[in-house]
Amino acid sequence: MIPQPGFGTYKLGDHAYDAISSAIELGYRHLDTAQYYFNEDIVGRAVNDSAVPRGQLFVTTKVWHDRLNQRDFLPSVEESLEKLQLDYVDLLLVHWPEPTGQVPMAEYLDELAKAKQQGLAKHIGVSNFTIKLLDEAVDILGPGEILTNQIEVHPFLQNSRVRAHCAQLGIQVTGFMPLARGRVFEDDTLRRIAQRHGVSPADIAVAWENQLGVITIPASTKVANQQANLAALNITLSDADMADIAALDRGQRLADSDFAPAWD
Ligand SMILES: NC(=O)c1ccc[n+]([C@@H]2O[C@H](COP(=O)([O-])OP(=O)(O)OC[C@H]3O[C@@H](n4cnc5c(N)ncnc54)[C@H](OP(=O)(O)O)[C@@H]3O)[C@@H](O)[C@H]2O)c1
């Protein structure tokens, strides 16, 4: 349902248009953006300029946490669509749970559901939701409505409990920062496994997420890296490789902030 892999578009800087265009050309069919990345206009330009028909692309955007209230939510989605030059996104996510307690979850999830009902989004989901928040969200929206929970997943933060809970709820996990923003290159175990497979530690991280059944969304400004991350889906890791990587979990969270929820 969600194309594997996705292409992350956070912090592509001046390379954004070229990077997104080359990713589409190479075969990525899923683009991950957000209001907060301030690049929806560039994603839109790359999508509209590409030779790939809109229907074959899967575009995700996310509503920032200061626009979750009923007054701002849907206008912000309209604004995103305008920047993206699209009639709809394939997936609309709540980027972070509302941090202040001033907007009840039922209020913003109702708006999220309305975005789908109004055809602004084909699918809806959440990001950075904990087990408790996911249960609350499913109570509000009903089962089967939340397509994905996009959370940080890489060998040093494997988020196993949240992943297991998502599996129980029938929610697909999308893993962000699969390469731990390059830290996978510093790890001896990943380097050893990579050497055995004749690839790089980044390829091993992507292959590992794929093998876990997680949708992976690596970002890269370089065509060679984009290509390698695509090709990594063809790598099969052995049970021993998977066990060695499982042992690397050290709860190293990279995307944290003072507005984050109480993590599992
Ligand atoms: N929902 C959320 O709260 C949230 C938070 C963070 C991120 N995200 C999403 O997840 C996406 C991915 O996370 P991220 O961009 O932060 O980090 P990432 O994908 O873990 O790492 C990106 C870094 O890895 C390098 N890289 C990529 N492929 C490589 C390869 N094959 N070999 C060597 N280096 C490679 C890139 O450099 P080069 O450009 O030089 O290749 C870049 O510096 C984001 O773009 C965004 O879409 C979501």
- 10 catalytically annotated: no
Percent of the chain with pLDDT over 70: 100
CB-based contact 115:77 (threshold 8 Å): yes
Q: How far is the CA of 107 from the centre of ligand 1 (A)?
A: 32
Top mutation candidate among 14, 225, 230, 263 for ligand 1, by most atoms within 8 Å of CB: 225
Percent of the chain with pLDDT over 90: 100
* Helix (H) / strand (E) containing 115: helix 105-117
Q: Residue 124 forms beta bridges with which residues? A: 92, 146
Instruction: Supply the CATH classification number for the domain 7-178.
Output: 3.20.20.100
At residue 26, the pLDDT reads: 98
3-class SS of residue 253: coil
Cα–Cα separations (whole angstroms), residue 57 to 48, 89, 128, 149, 206 = 11, 10, 24, 20, 21
Average pLDDT of the chain to the nearest whole number: 98
pLDDT tens track for 42-55: 999 999 999 999 99
Q: pLDDT band for position 257 (50/70/90)? A: very high
pLDDT tens track for 101-128: 999 999 999 999 999 999 999 999 999 9
Q: pLDDT band for position 220 (50/70/90)? A: very high
pLDDT tens track for 56-77: 999 999 999 999 999 999 999 9
3-class SS of residue 95: coil
> Which residue has its alpha carbon closest to ligand 1 atom 47?
8
pLDDT tens track for 229-247: 999 999 999 999 999 999 9
Give residue ranges with CB within 6 A of ligand 1. 8-10, 32, 95, 127-128, 150, 176-182, 200, 202, 217-222, 225, 228-229, 255
Cα–Cα separations (whole angstroms), residue 133 to 97, 123, 211 = 8, 19, 26
| Contacts by 254-257, CB closer than 8 A, 24 or more apart | 254/152, 254/154, 254/157, 254/177, 254/180, 254/181, 254/183, 255/128, 255/152, 255/176, 255/177
> Which residue has its alpha carbon closest to ligand 1 atom 30?
225
Could you list the beta-strand ranges (E) of 20-153: 30-32, 58-63, 89-94, 121-127, 146-152
* Helix (H) / strand (E) containing 215: strand 215-216
At residue 209, the pLDDT reads: 98
At residue 8, the pLDDT reads: 98
* Nearest CA-CA partner of 199 in 180, 184, 214: 184
* CA angle centred on 187, ends 184 and 191, rounded to 5°: 90
At residue 175, the pLDDT reads: 98
pLDDT tens track for 121-175: 999 999 999 999 999 999 999 999 999 999 999 999 999 999 999 999 999 999 9
Domain boundaries, the chain: 7-178
